[in-house]
């Protein structure tokens, strides 16, 4: 739980990664848990019988899936405890903190600020308060109070809890605003005085001063005389393509802001603020997502090439027919297409997404062995015994849990008898209390009315149900591969070693 500005580049790199991706998730988790009464509903460890998710959901009159998404994360963070029967209790340290009435009052006072804090862009543009839901909010004053003039610290434990609860999301917002308004890029180019920054961005001097002072608190900016530039650590961390990568990652996280701020409503009523089951919302979200994924094509290609090499050890890919469902940027199918000169790949996704896939596939010079298949993966019949390999890369997490068995059944039917199914997913550990990054990703899938993350044994059970009784789970660096096939079909038992993609692809 990072509370103070980092000093060394490695620490700053780690902090930036956390602030850009998960700080707002963590703040939203804690705020929603408080708002819903989840902290109070959990028995304190050692003082009462741990409660299963279903019991907690009943007690809170909330969605079981939503409560599970929260308590699994609380357990992973050490704030709650899970027993062997999947009962949950509040860790005694957390219970003691929440009995502190002064801390409780500070936490309660932060709850209404999520929406206004999301308007930092506007506050920086005008250098003053902003309107939100019919009221004026002193957003600059709130950021100043949080970061620049914080009250004397309470106990370190209370301060760390307050920091995650109250400052995590605003930290991300500072970065989002600095990226959106072009300030981060200007600072990275060379030091600028405030008037120079103002001339380049048309932002108010007061707003700019606040923004650079906030960036300084995060260890990113510093003043040298009248000129503001990046700190040495930030310059090292953000050199090359790293700044563009950070900006993209911030823009993805920013899209979840409102939904995270109203997470308690989603957990209580399954009311989805960013509902990706709405066709138009999904079309826009994933068209943008496909472009984001294209931007990181090279790094994902390393994973998909390794997966294709792994599969080819037991399933030679010469002349093979491969189906890539929910292809996104095309990065998985394309890796299989490049495995041999005769592998044919069908790229399946929403029509709007396939436009970008066509460009990516052409760039890799595998368009002559490509078929583009627009459709709806919730209903599409993929045929019978038509494919040697079917890939489901980061797609199951898009489906609500009740839709997964149906998709598995259609996929199993479309596989040739000796074929292999490759699922690339964030697979949870068997206790479902980690890894942390996976659980945060799962929280976002829940709040967008999408899927559930599963453990390997949960996948294996579902796959057995459609006749794919043989399965293995192989960990890639950032996600896992689950390979499945019918009985008697050989599957690789380990990953192929990492191989560098050819220059044309990178
Ligand atoms: C999380 S992305 C994964 C992209 C890609 N496979 C990857 O790993 O980079 C999920 C993909 O599923 C697609 N998708 C979502 N709902 C769909 C639907 N109803 N029909 C077809 N594709 C859909 C999205 O367009 C998106 O490209």
Residue 3 pLDDT > 50: no
Q: pLDDT tens-digit profile of 98-120?
A: 999 999 999 999 999 999 999 99
User: What is the distance in A from the centroid of ligand 1 to the CA of 163?
Assistant: 35
Range from 149-163, 398-412, 423-437, 490-504 carrying the lowest mean pLDDT: 490-504
Q: Which atom of ligand 1 is nearest to the CA of 424?
A: 8
Q: Mean pLDDT of all residues in the chain? A: 94
Instruction: Tell me whether strands 387-393 and 370-374 are parallel, antiparallel or unpaired.
Output: unpaired
**Predicted confidence band at 503 (pLDDT cuts at 50, 70, 90)?**
very low
From ligand 1's centre to the CA of 316, what distance in Å? 27
CA 200 – CA 196 distance, rounded (Å): 6
| Ligand 1, pocket-test mutation among 274, 336, 345, 350, most atoms within 8 A of CB | 350
Indicate the class that CATH gives domain 279-485.
alpha beta
Mean pLDDT, to the nearest integer, of 276-299?
A: 82
Task: Check pLDDT > 50 for residue 448.
Answer: yes
Residues with CB under 6 A from ligand 1: 282, 286, 290, 293, 300, 326-329, 331-332, 349-350, 353, 376-378, 393-395, 398
Residue with tokens 């095309």: 330
> How far apart are the CA of 225 and the centre of ligand 1, in A?
50
Which atom of ligand 1 is nearest to 353's Cα?
A: 25
Number of other residues whose CB lies within 10 A of the CB of residue 244: 13
- According to the model, what pLDDT value does residue 171 have? 98
Determine the distance separating the centroid of ligand 1 and the alpha carbon of 384, expressed in angstroms: 22
CA–centroid distance, 327 to ligand 1, in Å, is 6
Residues of the chain with CATH 3.40.50.150: 279-485
The least confident of 3-12, 25-34, 163-172 is 3-12
Cβ within 8 Å of residue 295, ≥6 positions away: 244, 248
CA–CA separation, 71 vs 53, rounded Å?
A: 8
Give the β-pairing of 321-325 and 344-349. parallel
List, for residues 209-255, the tens digit of each pLDDT value: 999 999 999 999 999 999 999 999 999 999 988 999 999 999 999 99
**Cα-atom radius of gyration of the chain, to the nearest Å?**
24
Q: Please name the residue whose Cα sits nearest to atom 12 of ligand 1.
A: 326
Two structure tokens written together for 308: 């294709």
Residue 7 has pLDDT above 50, yes or no: no
State the closest ligand 1 atom to the C-alpha of 380, by its place in the atom list counted from 1: 20
């Amino acid at each position: 739980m990072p509370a103070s500005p980092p000093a060394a580049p490695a620490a700053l790199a780690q902090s930036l990664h956390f602030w850009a991706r998960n700080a707002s998730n963590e703040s939203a988790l804690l705020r929603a848990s408080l708002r819903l009464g989840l902290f109070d509903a959990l028995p304190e460890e050692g003082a009462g019988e741990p409660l299963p998710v279903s019991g907690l959901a009943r007690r809170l009159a909330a969605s079981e899936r939503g409560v599970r998404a929260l308590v699994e994360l609380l357990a992973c963070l050490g704030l709650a405890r899970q027993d062997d029967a999947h009962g949950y209790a509040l860790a005694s340290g957390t219970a003691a903190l929440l009995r502190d009435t002064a801390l409780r009052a500070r936490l309660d006072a932060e709850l209404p600020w999520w929406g206004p804090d999301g308007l930092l862009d506007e506050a920086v543009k005008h250098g003053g308060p902003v309107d939100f839901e019919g009221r004026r909010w002193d957003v600059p004053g709130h950021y100043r109070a949080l970061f620049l003039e914080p009250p004397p610290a309470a106990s370190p434990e209370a301060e760390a809890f307050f920091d995650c609860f109250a400052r995590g999301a605003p930290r991300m917002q500072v970065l989002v605003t600095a990226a959106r308004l072009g300030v981060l890029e200007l600072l990275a180019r060379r030091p600028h005085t405030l008037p120079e920054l103002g001339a380049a961005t048309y932002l108010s001097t007061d707003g700019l001063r606040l923004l650079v002072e906030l960036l300084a608190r995060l260890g990113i900016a510093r003043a040298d005389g009248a000129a503001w530039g990046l700190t040495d650590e930030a310059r090292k961390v953000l050199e090359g393509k790293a700044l563009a990568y950070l900006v993209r990652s911030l823009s993805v996280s920013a899209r979840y802001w409102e939904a995270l701020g109203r997470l308690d409503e989603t957990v209580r009523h399954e009311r989805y603020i960013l509902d990706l089951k709405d066709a138009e919302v999904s079309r826009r979200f994933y068209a943008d997502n496909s472009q984001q994924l294209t931007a990181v094509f090279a790094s994902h290609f390393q994973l998909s090439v390794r997966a294709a090499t792994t599969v080819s050890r037991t399933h030679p890919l010469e002349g093979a027919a491969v189906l890539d469902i929910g292809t996104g940027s095309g990065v998985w199918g394309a890796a299989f297409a490049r495995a041999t000169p005769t592998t044919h790949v069908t790229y399946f996704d929403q029509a709007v997404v396939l436009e970008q896939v066509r460009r990516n596939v052409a760039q890799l010079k595998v368009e002559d062995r490509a078929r583009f298949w627009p459709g709806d993966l919730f209903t599409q019949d993929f045929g019978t015994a038509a494919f040697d390999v079917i890939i489901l890369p980061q797609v199951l997490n898009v489906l609500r849990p009740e839709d997964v068995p149906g998709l598995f059944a259609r996929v199993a039917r479309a596989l040739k008898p000796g074929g292999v199914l490759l699922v690339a997913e964030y697979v949870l550990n068997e206790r479902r209390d980690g890894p942390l990054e996976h659980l945060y990703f799962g929280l976002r899938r829940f709040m967008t009315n999408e899927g559930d993350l599963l453990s390997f044994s949960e996948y294996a059970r579902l796959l057995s149900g459609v006749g794919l009784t043989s399965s293995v789970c192989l960990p890639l660096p950032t996600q896992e591969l689950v390979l499945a096939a019918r009985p008697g079909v050989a599957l690789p038992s380990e990953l192929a070693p990492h191989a560098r993609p050819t220059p044309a692809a990178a």
